[in-house]
Amino acid sequence: MEHFDHRTNDFPLARLVGQRRSAVVLILGFVLSGLVLAFAPEPTTGSEAGSNLPETAEAARATEALSALPDANQAPALVVFSRENGQLTEEDLGSIAQRAQQLGRELDVATSPPIPADSGDVALVTLPVESGLTSDENSRIVDTIRETASSDLPDGLRAQVTGAPAVFADLGEVFSGADTRLLLVTASVVALLLVITYRSPWLWLVPLAVIGIGDRVAAKALETFSAWADFPIDGSITGITSVLVFGAGTNYALLLIARYREELRRHESRHDAMRFAVGAAAPAILSSSGTVILGLLALLIADSPFVSRIGMAGAIGLMVAVFFALVVLPAAMSLPGRWLFWPFVPRYGDDDPSHRGWWHRVGRAVTAHPWPVLVTSLALLIAMALGTLSLRTGLGQSEQFLDTPESVQAQETLSEAFAAGTSSPTRIATTPERLDAVVAAANDVDGVERATPADASGSVAEVSVILAAEPQSDEAIATIADLRSALDDADPSALVGGPDAEALDEGATAAQDRQLVVPIVLAIVLAMLLILLRSVVAAVLLAATTVLSYLSALGLGWLLFDHVIGWTAMDVSTPLLAFIFLVALGVDYNIFLTARAREEMRATGDATASIVTALAVTGGVITSAGVLLAAVFAVLGVLPLVLLAQLGVIVGIGVLLDTVVVRSIVTPALVRLCGKRFWWPSALAR
């Protein structure tokens, strides 16, 4: 019965399991968790946390150059007064003027007089807001503006606030209470799927409690790192990290508990069973988690600050998740008796039902007809991947949110009466000597509504440019490119900044990051597969199928976004982040399968029988893990930000493809066709 390699009992982590040792490990784990939760410092937050703009980008250099101006530390908030159906009356304009004066007194700033539109149904008031504030400070100021502007207005007159401070405040509101909401929904989804998986009234509580505590510890560890390293984070970064910890941590827990259940049938002592389970499962878990962690750390070389911060945050979270899955969870599972699995309690000496179950039949069917199954599966994946040929990236400012916040509504009202770019003007940094030439050149560019001199100092002069196109639309970004080209003659050293220029530079940065990071992550995946499986053939085939499933998920996701949901583009960060999560996480399932196949291969020497047995034994748990991970990533849709919703959908689709198609069909078919050559050049190939 115990034909597996007994050296797994000597795996270092397995030595932590025992009646007394498990209790000590569990107590120390909870004490350490309590200390982290109690004493973690407040994190560093700021508007730059979610920025995709590196310091070397032209738009960032323009902002830096303009920081020498007297009013450089201010950003305009725009109060838009309007009547939905009708012209503004004299009474309306008088009330608007009073609100402008009251805003100036309330915030101790100079506000502009009301500027009525030519159409007569909209008036605009601008006031400066200090930039560089924390999210809470900025939100308090914007709330004051909104409350003051809306008070005591005539019936039918409304006030809406937009501009950079208002957009930043609305983004912060998106994540208000998001941690709690995301945690509750994620925990509920995980609990439901664990109950279905284990069919036990209480077994699911143990992994859920352990991984749930691990998630909170990971969040506090991230906040501690944020405070110590001056590493800005926001709700999108913490949300993605939490989903990673819950998803990957629960996956590792499922694999460990499945092996523990299997070993309970081979060992009379539950502590011996857990030692062998940890020794057998830990190498695969460490290899798969190591692949994900290294892949995330590879994001540190990306130029996009947001992407690199996701990489560091995710790596910190996964290291905590692995600790709880391989150190705390074995102790928590082995202390209770076998009754924990009631009503399906594994008894010593029982046969393993998986060897004659559904997944065993699937493995036999696939290996009996490998060519038709492989060709059909690959054709399906390639057909879905073709959707990437029409993929577009770059969301406009009004397309960032699933809901429509007030700042976007105000922007839409403003664009109907004024030039569309009024709410987010383009800023050009030039010199006082070249100011007139730059203004003239900018006004000659198609798509520029008007360019006018703004602030100036002894060495720097600013030109404010209003574009005719909607902010961050394709037309606005194309106008920025034309504007930069037109300024080469007027002032070769001129720098074009502002929201539209930032969007152009973010798109270029994202493309460069993909070209740089993707090959490095593929090299990491291949290296980890080679270390674990010691087979070049297996490593190359598994990496290739994982990349194909990523392209299929990306293509299918884009077709869904474009033709069903109606999103005009993907966020610039979505393809790269989805690649990291899908290739690094997706290869996990092939690692779990082929690591077990390698174990069986050493015992039997039969490549086909080994992959069938591996699929039979791991099929149920890997499928459960895949469905759970896909569901957990789908929970990102709880946060009303398009980037997170897109990421959740694509990763969810990709994980299901990895689980159902690649791991269950493509990999067994490839092993059957390659035979022992699948393990070349290791000794198993001979």
Between CA 97 and CA 118 the distance in angstroms is 18
Q: What integer pLDDT is reported at residue 447 of this predicted model? A: 92
For residue 354 the two structure tokens come to 């998986």
Q: What integer pLDDT is reported at residue 318 of this predicted model? A: 94
Distances 371 to 64, 314, 362, 376, 666 between C-alpha atoms, Å: 60, 39, 15, 8, 10
pLDDT in tens, 188-201: 888 888 888 888 88
Q: How many residues does the chain have?
A: 686
pLDDT in tens, 38-77: 888 888 766 555 577 888 999 999 989 988 887 777 888 8
Residue 211 confidence (pLDDT) above 60: yes
User: For residues 667 and 590, is the Cβ–Cβ distance under 8 A?
Assistant: yes
Distances 318 to 35, 95, 180, 409, 520 between C-alpha atoms, Å: 19, 56, 20, 39, 19
In this structure, of 7-11, 155-159, 196-200, 467-471, the range with the lowest mean pLDDT score is: 7-11
Residue 552 confidence (pLDDT) above 60: yes
Residue type, 73: N
Report residue 224's pLDDT band, with 50, 70 and 90 as the boundaries.
Answer: very high
**Secondary structure percentages of the chain, helix, strand, coil, to 5:** 70, 10, 20
Type and span of the H or E element at 125: strand 122-130
pLDDT in tens, 422-458: 778 899 999 999 999 999 999 999 999 999 998 888 8
Report residue 350's pLDDT band, with 50, 70 and 90 as the boundaries.
Answer: confident
pLDDT mean over 96-100? 91
pLDDT in tens, 633-670: 888 877 778 888 899 999 999 999 988 898 889 999 99
Peptide bond between residue 114 and the one before it cis (omega within 30 degrees of 0): no
Residue 6 confidence (pLDDT) above 60: no
Q: What integer pLDDT is reported at residue 179 of this predicted model? A: 66
Report residue 555's pLDDT band, with 50, 70 and 90 as the boundaries.
Answer: very high
Q: What integer pLDDT is reported at residue 2 of this predicted model? A: 40
Tally of CA atoms within 13 A in the half-sphere of 600 that contains its CB: 21
Cα 303-306-309 angle, rounded to 5 deg: 95
User: For residues 113 and 147, is the Cβ–Cβ distance under 8 A?
Assistant: no
pLDDT mean over 10-22? 73
User: For residues 477 and 394, is the Cβ–Cβ distance under 8 A?
Assistant: yes
